[in-house]
Amino acid sequence: MKRFDYIIVGAGSAGCVLANRLSEDGRYRVLLLETGGSDRSIFIQMPTALSIPMNTKKYAWQFETEPEPHLDGRRMHCPRGKVLGGSSSINGMVYVRGHAGDFDEWQQAGAEGWDYAHCLPYFKRAEQWAFGGDEYRGNEGPLGVNNGNQMQNPLYQAFVDAGVEAGYDATADYNGRQQEGFGPMHMTVKQGVRSSSANAYLRPAMARANLTVQTGALVHKVLLEGKRAVGVRFERAGKMEEVRADKEVILSAGPIGSPHLLQLSGIGNPDTLKQAGIGVLHPLPGVGENLQDHLEFYFQFRCQQPITLNGKLGLWDKFLIGSRWLLRKDGLGATNHFESCGFIRSKAGVPWPDLQYHFLPAAMRYDGREAFAGHGFQVHIGHNKPRSRGQVTVRSADPREAPAIRFNYLSHPDDVEGFRACVRLTREIIGQPALDAYRGEEIQPGASVQSDEQIDAFVRSAVESAYHPSCSCKMGTDALAVVDPQTRVHGLQGLRVVDSSIFPTIPNGNLNAPTLMVAERAADLILGKTPLAALPAEVGLAEYWQEKQRPRAPVRALA
Q: Any alpha helices (H) in 492-559, and if so which ranges? A: 512-526
Residues annotated in a binding site: 5-34
∠ CA 387-469-17, nearest 5°, is 130
CB within 8 Å of 159: residues ≥ 6 apart: 182, 340, 342, 357, 359, 379, 429, 434, 435
User: Is residue 468 annotated as a catalytic residue, yes or no?
Assistant: yes
CB within 8 Å of 30: residues ≥ 6 apart: 4, 5, 6, 7, 8, 19, 22, 23, 210, 211, 212
158 neighbors 113 (Cβ within 8 angstroms): no
CA 315 to chain centre: 31
47 neighbors 122 (Cβ within 8 angstroms): no
As a whole number of Å, the end-to-end CA separation of the chain is 71
DSSP string, 219-271: EEEEEEETTEEEEEEEEETTEEEEEEEEEEEEE-SHHHHHHHHHHHTTEE-HH
**Phi, psi of 495, deg, nearest 5:** -140, 125
Residue 313: the pLDDT is 84
Residue 316: the pLDDT is 93
CATH T-level topology, domain 148-184+295-383+410-462: Cholesterol Oxidase; domain 2 (3.30.410)
Residue 528: the pLDDT is 97
Residues annotated in a binding site for FAD: 5-34
- β-strand pairing of 355-360 with 376-383: antiparallel
C-alpha to C-alpha distance for 142 and 192, rounded to whole angstroms: 15
Which of 70, 282, 380, 468 is catalytic? The answer is 468
∠ CA 511-413-557, nearest 5°, is 80
- Give ranges for CATH 3.30.410.40 in the chain: 148-184+295-383+410-462
Q: What is the pLDDT along the chain (559 residues), one digit of tens a residue?
A: 799 999 999 999 999 999 999 999 999 999 999 999 999 999 999 999 999 999 999 999 999 999 999 999 999 999 999 999 999 999 999 999 999 999 999 999 999 999 999 999 999 999 999 999 999 999 999 999 999 889 999 999 999 999 999 999 999 999 999 999 999 999 999 999 999 999 999 999 999 999 999 999 999 999 999 999 999 999 999 999 999 999 999 999 999 999 999 999 999 999 999 999 999 999 999 999 999 999 999 999 999 999 999 998 889 999 999 999 999 999 999 999 999 999 999 999 999 999 999 999 999 876 656 667 899 999 999 999 999 999 999 999 999 999 999 999 999 999 999 999 999 999 999 999 999 999 999 999 999 999 999 999 999 999 999 999 999 999 999 999 999 999 999 999 999 999 999 999 999 999 999 999 999 999 999 999 999 999 999 998 888 999 999 999 999 987 6
CB within 8 Å of 220: residues ≥ 6 apart: 232, 233, 234, 235, 240, 264, 399
CB within 8 Å of 82: residues ≥ 6 apart: 35, 36, 58, 59, 60, 61
DSSP string, 151-179: T-SHHHHHHHHHHHHTTPPB-S-TTTT--
254 neighbors 501 (Cβ within 8 angstroms): yes
498 neighbors 518 (Cβ within 8 angstroms): yes
Q: How many CA atoms lie within 13 A of 510 on its CB side?
A: 26
Residue 1: the pLDDT is 76
Residue 366: the pLDDT is 64
Residue 558: the pLDDT is 75
| The overall pTM is greater than 0.85 | yes
Q: In CATH terms, is domain 1-143+186-292+389-406+468-535 a member of 3.50.50.60?
A: yes
DSSP string, 308-345: SGGGG-SHHHHHHHHHHHHHHS-GGGG--S--EEEEE-
- Give ranges for CATH 3.50.50.60 in the chain: 1-143+186-292+389-406+468-535
Residue 189: the pLDDT is 97
Residue 370: the pLDDT is 62
